[in-house]
Structure 1
Amino acid sequence: MNVAEITGQLAPVAFGIATIGPAIGVGIVVGKTVESVARQPELQGRLTGLMFLGIAFTEALAFIAIAVSFIQFP
């Protein structure tokens, strides 16, 4: 079987691979926020806002990766 004969939709595979990085990033952001709130509870409101901002930026990278996977593999 020649490699050029492989057919099928590769976008779901690329989507799965593209979500690994942002998932790890969100886990780190949330974990560090929980650790920070445990150390200084009086900053919970400020840290929570920064956490959501970090999650939004991390998820934006995931959406870009998903879009590129569907553009590259129509």
Structure 2
Amino acid sequence: MPYIHIIALYEIFVILVTLYFIIKLHFKNNRISKEDDFIDLYEKRRKRLIENAGINFPMKNYLFLLILSPIALGTL
């Protein structure tokens, strides 16, 4: 139990990252800057790595698992 604050901080981090993705999708059509931000660059690099590995796995599913797996493991 002494490490509960670390787990809580990690869950807050995951929630904030998820919220960032939701806000980003919501405002995708209303972008002020046409430059790619950190998340766009990360998505492009991951997509390229997945394609180069020869894995037929959609990027949307990869991000879904990346965000939800810590939450699922944290509830066990």
TM-score, structure 2 length as denominator? 0.41
Structure possessing the higher radius of gyration over alpha carbons = 1
More helix by percentage:
1
TM-score, structure 1 length as denominator? 0.42
